Structure 1
Amino acid sequence: MNTKFITSCALAASLFLASHAPALAKSGVLVIDDVVSVRILNGWRTDRGTHMAAIEVRLADGWKTYWRAPGDGGIPPRFNWSGSTNLANVDLHWPRPDAFHLNGMLSIGYHDAVIIPIELSPATKGQPISVSGEIDMGVCDDICVPVTVHVTAELPADQTTTDPAILGALKLAPANAKAGGVTSATCAVSPISDGMRVTATIDMPALDGEEIAVFELAGQQVWIDEAKTTRAGRHLTATTDVVPSASGPFLLNRSDLRITVLGKTRAVDIRGCPAG
């Protein structure tokens, strides 16, 4: 599990931050010693009445940050939008991440820069949204640094001009199961000493490069091991162990499972995995 890794990251972060200058914030961009800068791209009000904005993250050479499911070697990002006004809901549209190895562990995330579209639902339609958010994120090079950044933006209701950068990021999202050519996906579940073992059998065309399957389980505090994958023709088999915080077998709802299959240039997002 990740306890030792997270502890070492926290220690490295304290040493790193103690020896560097304080954060500098100006023009709505928070910069921490030129390692990472984060800002909101204001975007536009959609025909549905939501507001399509984005989080833009820029990283110094060699630094990386993490996807929503960061792998064994990553720090999961966390978002708090409670300081915002006229905001009812936030949906993140994650672009396809890259897989890389850091400290001998698989990590999943982004390097150089990433634009993460965020779709904001106003509490009162037709009115501006004032965004005030706190983002906890990890950035890593030779060491890992947990960072908290604050972002703000005023999003008017009459802004309807689309942003090409956000549109481009939306196109990078993993394809859904149908668009990805998935004809079936089933999961077999069996108990292990400290949790459950899940084996997914997916009928789908092969992606380019190494195929990495990432399992997520909504609504539960669990640790999920790096999946082992094999392929025979159209059939991709992926097996992982799911361990809850209490350790031991537990009731697993297959409809809550989410499996993302990552290739070199494409990815497929599969929601739910019924029994085979």
Structure 2
Amino acid sequence: MLARLRPLLLCSLAAMPLAGPALLGSALASEMSDWSAPEGTAARLVAGGTEGGALIGGVEIRLSPGLKTYWRYPGDSGVPPQFDWSGSQNVEDVEVLWPAPVRFDDGGSFSIGYKTDVVLPLRITPKDPSKAVELKLNLDFAVCGKICQPASAALGLAVPSGGGAPSAALTQALARVPHRAALGAGGEPRIATALLQDGKDGAAIRLVAQVGDANNADLFVEGPGDDWALPLPARETGPDGRVTFTLPVDGVPKGADIGTAQLRFTLVDGDRAIEVHAPLSHH
């Protein structure tokens, strides 16, 4: 699914080049592609194992110190990655699995993404599981310091039907992909309640979460479509790992009803994260 574009930030700092020629060295042909190295970054495809008839892989993005790139929903500003797999062979579907992101200050606005090297895991469904797949990716993304610079990479990787040996970076990224959870269920972390409330300043969303690390917990709310642009919430910590997140009802497409919409909540609790799909309760 292609995420919508956001305006680029208009500040001034050139992206720094990546150091060291070793970064672009040759790789095992069956497990990773060559690096593509736009300015300030490098990207490659990596292969992993198999899971339920699907192949596991990843898009590995390396960043120069001080640079960042964006999550599927970039927040107030930024450009989310866009993936074009149309040149691939023996591929029915490619699903991007997103590791838990962080919130960062873009200079007057807040965005969501990654401030260090990241692997975006992939779940690849082949048309014929008995045959190898040929991945072809045209990747468009942004690499940002004080300005955002567009980057693109053309990547290709042949993956055998049995997959490859996953790298440590891919294994770690898979562990950071939020687990699906039900609203109100589980121990820590969990989202206890998600309410739509009327207040003196208008309608607001109020979520109460239980986490292990209240000082570093964060939450991101997405609508059911790319035309939604819900703001990042304010956060208030309470006793015993309780955190309350509030955000105004803003960025809802014309004609949409937030009172009945199925929203996606990503709760990050240190190294753990969950994803909850649920409508808001009314209060």
TM-score (norm. length: structure 2):
0.77
| Mapping for residues 60-75 of structure 1, pairs under 5 Å | 60-75=64-79
Counterpart of 2:46 in structure 1 is 41
Q: In structure 2, how many angstroms separate the alpha carbons of the residues matched to 1:272 and 1:151?
A: 36
* Equivalent in 227, 232, 246 of residue 221 of structure 1: 227
Verify: 1:84 aligned to 2:88, yes or no: yes
Name the amino acid aligned to 2:223.
L
Q: What is the rounded CA distance, in whole Å, between the counterparts of 2:46 and 2:275 in structure 1?
A: 25
1:153-201 CA distance string (max 9 Å, x none): 11110335443332221112234433644263333166999xx944133
Give the SS at the match of 1:134.
Answer: strand
1:6 and 2:12 correspond = no
Q: CA deviation at 1:263?
A: 4.1
- Preserved contact between residue 226 and residue 240 of structure 1 (Cα < 8 Å): no
For 1:200, the equivalent position in structure 2 comes to 206
Quickly say closer, same or farther: Cα 1:54–1:254, change in 2 above 3 A: farther
Amino acid at match of 1:164: A
Q: Which amino acid aligns with 2:195?
A: C
Relative to structure 1, is the Cα distance of residues 224 and 267 closer, same or farther in structure 2, using a 3 angstrom cutoff? same
CA separation of 1:203 and 1:61: change in aligned 2, threshold 3 A = closer
Give the C-alpha shift of residue 70 in structure 1: 1.7
Alpha-carbon RMSD: 3.2
| CA distance in structure 2 between the partners assigned to 1:85 and 1:190 by the alignment | 52
1:109 pairs with 2:113: yes
Q: How many residues align?
A: 256
Does residue 139 in structure 1 map to residue 143 in structure 2?
Answer: yes
Alignment-derived partner of residue 53 in structure 1: 57
Quick one: distance in 2 between partners of 1:231 and 1:208? Answer: 6
CA distance in 1, matches of 2:200, 2:167: 49
Change (3 A) 1:197 1:211: farther
Could you report, residue by residue, the CA deviation over 1:10-69 in whole angstroms, capped at 9, with x for unpaired residues? x979xx69xxxxxxx996221123x110000122233x1110001100011111111112
Q: Structure 1: where are the runs of 5+ without partners? A: 18-24
CA contact (8 A) 1:197 1:239 kept: no
Structure 1 position 243 matched with structure 2 position 244: no
SS in 2 for 1:166: helix
* Pairing 1:184–2:192 present: yes
Q: CA deviation at 1:243?
A: 2.0
AA aligned to 1:42 is A
Q: Secondary structure at the match of 2:146?
A: coil
Task: Indicate if the aligned counterparts of 1:12 and 1:144 stay in contact, CA closer than 8 A.
Answer: no
Taking structure 1 as the reference length, the TM-score comes to 0.79
Instruction: Quote the Cα distance in structure 1 between the aligned partners of 2:257 and 2:91.
Output: 34
Q: Give the letter for the 1:152 counterpart.
A: G
